[in-house]
Amino acid sequence: MGDILRDGYEFLVATVELAGALIIFVGAAWATARFVVEGLRHRTAEVFTPIRLSLGRFLTLGLEFLLAADILRTAASPTFTQIGQLAAIAAIRTALNYFLRREIREEQRQVEGRDGP
C-alpha cells in the first residue's frame, strides 16, 4: 500500500512539474515565433514590448507551478535538509516572480501610456 501511495504521490509531483515546464516552453516558443514574425514586419522596439509582457506572464505562471511541485515534494516526508532546500528554492523563485511582475507592470504602464490619449 505504501508503494502505491508513494508512486501516486511522485506521479502528482511530476505532473505539476511537467505542467510548469510546459507552460514555460509554450510561452518561450510563442514569444520566439512572435518575435520573428514581428521582427520581420516592423523594426521598432515598441513592437517587442507586448511580446515581452506575454513571455513574462508565461514565466511567472510556470515558476508558480514549479514552486508548487517543490512544495509537494517536500510535504511528503520533510527533513531539515529538504526544508532548507525548499526555503532557498522558494526564496529564489519568489524573487524571480517579484521582479518579473514588477517589470510586467512597468511595461504595461508604458504600453497603456503610449496607446492612451
8 A C-beta contact, residue 13 and residue 72:
yes
- What confidence score (pLDDT) does residue 116 get? 46
- What confidence score (pLDDT) does residue 117 get? 45
- What confidence score (pLDDT) does residue 114 get? 59
Distance of alpha carbon 33 from alpha carbon 2, whole angstroms: 46
What is the extent of the structural domain holding 45? 2-115
Report residue 72's pLDDT band, with 50, 70 and 90 as the boundaries. confident
Higher pLDDT, 9 or 31: 31
pTM: 0.74
Report residue 110's pLDDT band, with 50, 70 and 90 as the boundaries. confident
- Total domains present in the chain: 1
pLDDT in tens, 18-52: 999 999 999 999 999 999 998 778 877 777 888 88
Among 65, 47, 51, 63, smallest CA distance to 95 is for: 63
Count the Cβ atoms, other than its own, within 10 Å of residue 59: 19
